[in-house]
Structure 1
Amino acid sequence: MKIQQTFTERHVLAVLVDNEAGILAKIAGLFTARGYNIDSLTVADITEDHATSRITIVTNGPPPVIDQIISQLERLVPVHKVTDLTEAGPHVERELALVKVRGTGEARVEALRIADVFRASVIDTTTESFVFELTGASEKIDSFISLMRQLGLVEVGRSGIVGMMRGAEGA
């Protein structure tokens, strides 16, 4: 019996939409109805008149599925433009995380040392814990969280990925 492997790729999609009630539900519904997964989703109002928002979606799938997702998104009425940042060329991606770590004594010193290496900022502290703020690639944040787990990780909040094309052109 031959087992067929499905090649999946991670893609970051930038979707420009009218800023109207229900658009996020329409997009989430599109993914749900077809059994696609959303790994990360961020939304931001991007125009002065609050008429347009940018939705950044991170998803995984084989190339034909990614193409189908993009086609389906482009057919939604309030969608102006869909850009697959992964395919479009050089782009930057960042994520923000708030990481709460319990620590006293040597564990506290070690948490501060690791935070310094990762360029994480202490944004809140008590005698028994810290809240660190960290920005960067998802892999960097995953590594930081993994190290903090060993020292007393309490809670993590992550913003999800935002991405943008490099250079003067917009997405």
Structure 2
Amino acid sequence: MKHTLSVLVEDEAGVLTRIAGLFARRGFNIESLAVGPAEQIGISRITMVVPGDDAVIEQLTKQLYKLINVLKVQDITTIPCVERELMLLKVNATASTRSEILELVQIFRAKVVDVSDDSLIIEVSGDPGKMVALVQMLNKFGIREIARTGKIALVRESGVNTEYLKSLEARV
């Protein structure tokens, strides 16, 4: 199972290297990684997606807390969160396929950020599932390049689980 960890660290040189080294020494892969300033000056938030069962994640959490500069580690996998990613796609776009691609761009609430005679660059942000769905729809046109950020996430203070609400709507 994939787990999403939110880690608050002191914003100092070498923190990310120490965290990556911890994972490398233990043979674990980081599937997604996003780092940026947090709400307080001098603090950064690292959001990472890591494969492993609950026992592995618990062990990694304990190891992270042993690192200097690590302030808080939270497994937010099962906590209601707002999750987002950003993706840029360069896709083949001939005169005959351009209108169909533009329709998909509108459906996914994405936007075209560059146009050439034979390609488009599309920017899309949203939950990770949206990224996968758009890639699947655009594959038939030929994707030339993809650049994708790691997942970022914040816990919902309301505690409302929108995934659960979506499943209820689907039944109605």
Shorter-chain TM-score category?
0.7 to 0.9
Code of the residue aligned with 1:82 in structure 2: it is V
With normalisation by structure 2, the TM-score equals 0.87
State the match for 1:100 in structure 2: 90
Code of the residue aligned with 1:57 in structure 2: it is M
State the match for 2:153 in structure 1: 163
Shift of 1:79: 0.3
Q: Hey, what's the Cα distance between the residues in 2 that align with 1:154 and 1:147?
A: 14
Partner SS state of residue 30, structure 1: helix
With normalisation by structure 1, the TM-score equals 0.88
Q: 1:40 aligns with which of 27, 32, 44?
A: 32
1:29 aligned to 2:21?
Answer: yes
State the match for 2:113 in structure 1: 123
State the match for 1:66 in structure 2: 57
Cα gap change, 1:143/1:129 in structure 2, threshold over 3 Å: closer, same or farther? same
Dislocated runs of 4+, deviation >4 Å: none
Q: CA RMSD in A?
A: 1.5
Q: Structure 2, unaligned stretches of length 5 or more?
A: 160-172
Q: Hey, what's the Cα distance between the residues in 2 that align with 1:26 and 1:150?
A: 41
Query: What do residues 66-95 of structure 1 show as CA deviations (whole Å, max 9, x unaligned)?
Result: 1111111111110000011114x2111110
1:19 aligned to 2:21?
Answer: no
Partner SS state of residue 56, structure 1: strand
Q: 1:57 aligns with which of 48, 54, 61?
A: 48
Code of the residue aligned with 2:112 in structure 1: it is V
State the match for 1:6 in structure 2: none
Shift of 1:46: 2.0
State the match for 2:77 in structure 1: 86
1:148 aligned to 2:135?
Answer: no
Q: 1:109 aligns with which of 99, 116, 120?
A: 99
- Residue correspondences, number: 159
Greater Cα shift, 122-131 or 77-86? 122-131
Identical aligned residues as a percent: 41
Shift of 1:168: 6.5
Q: Hey, what's the Cα distance between the residues in 1 that align with 2:104 and 2:45?
A: 34
